[in-house]
Structure 1
Amino acid sequence: MASVHEYRTRKGKRWWYVSYRDAEDVQHTKRGFTRKCDAEDYAARMLVSINDGDYIDPQLGKVSVNHLAATWLEGKKGAVKPKYWGDLESSWRVHVQPKWGRRQVGKLRYSEVQAWVSAMGAERSATIVRRAYDVLNGVCKLAVKDGVMRRNPCEGVQLPRKTHKARTYLTVEQLLALADAAGGHRAVILTLGFCGCGSVSCARCASRTWTLNVRACWCDIASCVSMASTSRGCRRRMSAARCLWPLP
């Protein structure tokens, strides 16, 4: 049930406020309408949203992005690989928090997010921009799922396209020359060069086969080298050249 009431300001002006109860029978009041028709329109919209089950308490939208981001990052910690989580946390701290951290999540607007992405795209690479967007988008998705906001302001934002840089590779002759010059690290250089394997210390030779079983890899997480599992948490099997044997 929603109703419209008249009241007088300190200056004697006639304004209106709306009084209504939500689905949990909690009383709410919205003041500041200078026209009665605006108050009636607001009351009608609140009544429809309550009856349809889409009502969101305006007070919930006042929660800060900082608060929701902490919850979102904590939830991601056990769901993604440590390397990716470190990238998300760094992107939040460097690019997202300074801009959006203190803002109320319910007051974020699509136009603001698009302007932020476009401005950052003029100075940063597409990869950095997209990761920062993914962080903010993830926080807003959490807000929608928690019933804090009705729509995600990040939906439909145009992102910069990734450009793939041309890569330069050593020829077989150059790789063999480099390995010979590496002395005792010859096997390591050949493994990296022929297998593309970033986990030499964890590689094991498969018995009587010319393959490597990779169980884990080294990765850079927040400027610290750490051990991480391979993709999907399973061993990776890759072919290896005969010149690698015997591999220590």
Structure 2
Amino acid sequence: MGSVHPYSTASGKRVYRISYRKPDGGQGTQRGFRTKRDAQLRLFEVEISKNSGTFVDPADARITIGVLGEEWIVSRLADLKPSTFRSIDSARRIHVQPKWKSRQVGRIRHSEVQAWISGLSTTHSPTTVRRVHEVLAGILDVAMRDRRISTNPARGVKLPRETSKPRAYFDHAPVATLAEASSHPELVVFLAYTGLRWGEATGLRVKHIDLKRRRVSVKENAVEVGSFIEVGTPKTHEKRQVPYPAFFADAM
């Protein structure tokens, strides 16, 4: 069990501090308690957290979102597609950093995050708000796993509901009209009748085309990220075979 000690501030005011042994064997202290009872209650909380495995060293909780966010975004390079990484990093730089960069992870409150999300919801789409929230929540998840905070204040906030938009499908005539007006009519027809995404179509290679069975194998995705073309797997890593109509055989 730790101990409680009184001390005087520069102004002569009598306050209290607590001393305790941290789980790693080091000495921990916290000061500035106005009453001895407040100090004792905090000391009890520290001892309980040590026994339950939820102890958080106040020194570790002082790391800022800005510092931890830089480490977090680098760690996402390995598991995100380039285009997704770009959008996530953009959300971090444009929305998360300006608001939270200098804030210590241990001082962020759930109510603050909720107020921030509610404000963003009035000016941005649900998709953008959810992406921005996931960035902050992801950074704080790392802080929690590192035992810098005991709970994630960004989890459990109310997020704007995403509504699915009705899909519009062309009949044959509009597709033909659009193709005629295009400088690449074959590509317009191909996209319309196969349903391939743009990146999937541009990622096709000759070896992916089966002329006898009139099928294309969707195995790669090519998208422009900044000024570079990034080639990878299809969205959600979904490899599949897609047929194209007989009237399009000659064009293929």
Deviations 1:184-212 (CA, angstroms, capped at 9, x unpaired) = x2321111111122233433321410211
Q: Which amino acid aligns with 1:127?
A: T
Contact 2:211 2:249 in 1 (8 A): no
Contact 2:64 2:103 in 1 (8 A): yes
Q: Hey, what does 1:202 align to over in structure 2?
A: 203
Deviations 1:155-201 (CA, angstroms, capped at 9, x unpaired) = 11000011233444332111123324446x23211111111222334
Question: Deviation of residue 45 (structure 1)?
Answer: 1.3
In structure 2, distance between residues paired with 1:20 and 1:239: 70
Does the C-alpha gap of structure 1 residues 112 and 236 become closer, same or farther in structure 2, counting only changes over 3 Å? same
Q: Which amino acid aligns with 2:137?
A: N
Q: Hey, what does 1:139 align to over in structure 2?
A: 139
SS of 2:161's equivalent in the other structure is coil
Q: Which amino acid aligns with 1:36?
A: K
Q: Hey, what does 2:124 align to over in structure 1?
A: 124
- 1:63-212 to structure 2, matched below 5 A, reads 63-182=63-182, 185-197=184-196, 198=198, 199-203=200-204, 204-212=208-216
Q: Which amino acid aligns with 1:42?
A: R
Does the C-alpha gap of structure 1 residues 72 and 43 become closer, same or farther in structure 2, counting only changes over 3 Å? same
In structure 2, distance between residues paired with 1:10 and 1:103: 27
Matching of residue 24 in structure 1 with residue 28 in structure 2: no
Does the C-alpha gap of structure 1 residues 6 and 202 become closer, same or farther in structure 2, counting only changes over 3 Å? closer
Question: Deviation of residue 232 (structure 1)?
Answer: 4.8
Matching of residue 228 in structure 1 with residue 232 in structure 2: yes
Does the C-alpha gap of structure 1 residues 186 and 72 become closer, same or farther in structure 2, counting only changes over 3 Å? same
Matching of residue 239 in structure 1 with residue 243 in structure 2: yes
Does the C-alpha gap of structure 1 residues 21 and 246 become closer, same or farther in structure 2, counting only changes over 3 Å? same
The answer to which of 16-25 and 109-118 deviates more is: 16-25
The answer to which of 97-106 and 123-132 deviates more is: 97-106
Contact 1:218 1:228 in 2 (8 A): yes
SS of 2:111's equivalent in the other structure is helix
Normalised to the residue count of structure 1, the TM-score between the two structures is 0.91
In structure 1, distance between residues paired with 2:202 and 2:33: 70
Question: Deviation of residue 34 (structure 1)?
Answer: 1.8
Contact 1:96 1:135 in 2 (8 A): yes
Does the C-alpha gap of structure 1 residues 97 and 110 become closer, same or farther in structure 2, counting only changes over 3 Å? same
In structure 2, distance between residues paired with 1:244 and 1:233: 27
Contact 1:16 1:32 in 2 (8 A): yes
In structure 1, distance between residues paired with 2:128 and 2:231: 24
**Which segments of 5 or more consecutive residues in structure 1 lack a partner in the other structure?**
none
In structure 2, distance between residues paired with 1:200 and 1:50: 56
**Which segments of 5 or more consecutive residues in structure 2 lack a partner in the other structure?**
none
Question: Deviation of residue 16 (structure 1)?
Answer: 1.7
Aligned-CA RMSD value: 1.9
Number of residue pairs the alignment of both structures matches? 247
Question: Deviation of residue 53 (structure 1)?
Answer: 2.3
Does the C-alpha gap of structure 1 residues 110 and 222 become closer, same or farther in structure 2, counting only changes over 3 Å? farther
Question: Deviation of residue 20 (structure 1)?
Answer: 1.0
SS of 1:208's equivalent in the other structure is coil
- 1:2-41 to structure 2, matched below 5 A, reads 2-41=2-41
